[in-house]
Amino acid sequence: MSERVKVSLVCTVCQSRNYKTTRRVDHQGAVKLKKHCPKCNKHTEHVETK
């Protein structure tokens, strides 16, 4: 079983940190997900940050 690390997801539009998730340690690149941003009030792309 591979280890997982905690990461925060930041909105690419307003830069607010809305979500926390985990990802595998050996994953290459940043996690990108379409999530609802309560500040923007629409679905935007959220990317991984530490």
Give pLDDT tens digits for 24-46: 999 889 999 999 999 999 999 99
Using CA atoms, how far apart are residues 24 and 41, in angstroms rounded to an integer? 29
Residue 36 domain boundaries: 4-49
CATH number, residue 27: 2.20.28.120
DSSP 6-40: EEEEEETTT--EEEEEEEETT--S--EEEEEETTT
In the prediction, which pLDDT does 37 show? 96
φ, ψ dihedrals at 35, nearest 5°: -135, 160
In the prediction, which pLDDT does 1 show? 66
Structural domains in the chain (count): 1
Whole-model pTM?
Answer: 0.84
Tokens 């996690």 label which residue? 31
